[in-house]
Structure 1
Amino acid sequence: MIDDFLAGDLSVVEEAIRKAAAAEIMPRYRQLAAHEIVEKNGPHDLVTTADRNAEEHLTASLTALLPGSVVVGEEAVHADPSVYEALAGDAPVWIVDPVDGTRQFVRGETGFCTLVALAVRGEVLASWTFAPVREEMATAVRGAGAKLNGTPLRAGAPEPDAVLTVAMSHPDYTTDAQKRALLALNTSAIQARPCGSAGLEYLAVARGTLDAVAFSWEQAWDHAAGLLLVVEAGGAHLTLAGEEFRIGGTNVLPFTAARSSATAERIRALLASG
């Protein structure tokens, strides 16, 4: 079933994502009322009416495209953590972040996107990253490459021994050990900066305008789409233990995704020195 779906016309998924954004996200862009913005776990973890409505819209449309599939969405898991367990099941899973970069969306900035990935038993098979204001749709299919608005993406490799630009988690919002690891990136060999929307940072790695990311959290909706995009563009990802990141969890954090395998190992080694 899943092989037939992937071999078919995947533009129907793109269309479903565009429709959800047009119906639920963009009408609220720079138009949010105060009551449409809620803090989930503090001021750095926001949810809006656009997030919730877009996830409901995508849940209905995506499961209709692939009968028997289920959705693991950020807002559904917030309401019922047991929903996350579907990642380990046999049914195809749509992993959805309706508005990745909610803080940027709330501030009326352009740096937000909708993330969708299709996975089976923990393996991501296809992904979509849609930045509606920027009119960018990045797609990836395992073994078939990555594209941005239909044009193939290649991350390329930085010059040997070049100073690397890395977008990373804020060290203060993690454990002491992870904080030490992230702070180890503050060297003359690294130009580190805070990350924005995770999905758009992954897209920047896949298009070769950012060398790497380093993250200390593992919620699948933030990473599944972008990790496949990076890999299909020629990049790689590694956890602190030197293993590929698993969307089902139990990763040794932090982890990195980078433009090349050598760059990923270079970042991992620095993290491990912390």
Structure 2
Amino acid sequence: MIDEFLAGGLTDVEEAVRKAAAAEIVPRFRQLAADEIVEKNGPHDLVTVADRLAEEHLTAALTALLPGSVVVGEEAVHADPRILLSLGGDAPVWIVDPVDGTRQFVQGDPGFATLVCLAHRGELLASWTYAPALDLMAVARRGGGAVLNGTPLRCGVPEPGRDLEVATSHFDFTDDEQKRVLATLLTDGVAPRPCGSAGLEYLHVAQGSLDAVAFSWENPWDHAAGLLLVAEAGGASATVAGEPFRVTGGNTLPFSAARDETTLRHILGLLASAG
């Protein structure tokens, strides 16, 4: 069933993602009222009416496209963490972040995206990264490559002699221990900076405009789409323990995704040096 869907349903998913954004996100961009923005776990962790309605829209549309599938969405999991258990079940799972980069969305910054990834028993099968305000749609299929607005994506390799540009977990979302580990990247030959939308940072790696990312949290909706995108564009990823990142959780953190294996090993080696 899943193989048949992957053979002919990717365009339908892309259309569903575009429709959800057009209906629930784009009309509210730079139009949010104060009562449409709520703090979840602190002043930097925001949710808006656009997040909730877009996730509801996508949940209905995606499960209709693939009967028997379930959705693990950021907002649904916030309401009921038990939904995460679906990632290890037998049903196909849509991993959804309706507005990745909610803070940017609230601030009127176009650097936000809708992220969707189809997974089955922990394996990432296809992903969609859509930045409606930037008119960017990146699609990846396991074993089938990655494209951005229809053009093939390739990570390439960093230019020799140039500092490696690395987007890291934003300091607003890290504790003291995570800051200590990420500080190992403050060294010669590496130029770290705080990340914006995680999904768009993965896209930058897949495009070859960013050398790597290094993240200290494992929410699957932030990473699933981007990890498959980078992999299908020729990049590499692993946790600091040298293991593949698991969307089902329980990863040794932090982890990194990079344009090539050499860059990945260098970044992971620095992170591991924190002990």
Deviations 1:160-212 (A, max 9, x none): 45310000013464354432220000012111100000000000000000000
Task: Out of 196-205 and 240-249, give the one that drifted further.
Answer: 240-249
Q: What is the rounded CA distance, in whole Å, between the counterparts of 1:211 and 1:245 in structure 2?
A: 18
The answer as to whether partners of 1:99 and 1:114 remain within 8 angstroms in 2 is yes
**1:244 paired to 2:229:** no
Tell me the CA shift for residue 128 of structure 1: 0.1
Deviations 1:85-130 (A, max 9, x none): 0000000000000000000000011000000000000111000000
Which residue does 2:258 correspond to in 1? 258
Q: What is the rounded CA distance, in whole Å, between the counterparts of 1:9 and 1:91 in structure 2?
A: 17
State how 1:114-263 maps to structure 2 within 5 Å.
114-171=114-171, 173-263=173-263
**1:104 paired to 2:104:** yes
Deviations 1:27-61 (A, max 9, x none): 10000000000000001100000000000000000
Which residue does 1:76 correspond to in 2? 76
The answer as to whether partners of 2:115 and 2:225 remain within 8 angstroms in 1 is yes
The answer as to whether partners of 2:171 and 2:194 remain within 8 angstroms in 1 is no
Q: What is the rounded CA distance, in whole Å, between the counterparts of 2:8 and 2:86 in structure 1?
A: 24
Task: Out of 249-258 and 178-187, give the one that drifted further.
Answer: 178-187
Aligned to 2:137, what secondary structure does the other structure show?
strand
After superposing on structure 2, the runs of 4+ consecutive aligned residues of structure 1 that deviate more than 6 Å are none
Deviations 1:139-173 (A, max 9, x none): 00000000000100000011345310000013464
Q: How many residues align?
A: 274
The answer as to whether partners of 2:44 and 2:172 remain within 8 angstroms in 1 is no
The answer as to whether partners of 1:236 and 1:259 remain within 8 angstroms in 2 is yes
Q: What is the rounded CA distance, in whole Å, between the counterparts of 2:148 and 2:3 in structure 1?
A: 23
Tell me the CA shift for residue 238 of structure 1: 1.2
Which residue does 1:86 correspond to in 2? 86
Task: Out of 159-168 and 36-45, give the one that drifted further.
Answer: 159-168
Which residue does 2:65 correspond to in 1? 65
Aligned to 2:185, what secondary structure does the other structure show?
coil
Q: What is the rounded CA distance, in whole Å, between the counterparts of 1:106 and 1:172 in structure 2?
A: 16
Q: What is the rounded CA distance, in whole Å, between the counterparts of 1:45 and 1:200 in structure 2?
A: 18
Distance 1:46 1:172, change over 3 A: closer
Task: Out of 5-14 and 158-167, give the one that drifted further.
Answer: 158-167
Q: TM-score, normalised by structure 1?
A: 0.98
Computed over aligned residues only, the root mean square deviation of the Cα atoms, in angstroms, reads 1.0
Q: What is the rounded CA distance, in whole Å, between the counterparts of 2:170 and 2:54 in structure 1?
A: 27
Q: TM-score, normalised by structure 2?
A: 0.98
The residue type paired with residue 257 of structure 2 is: A
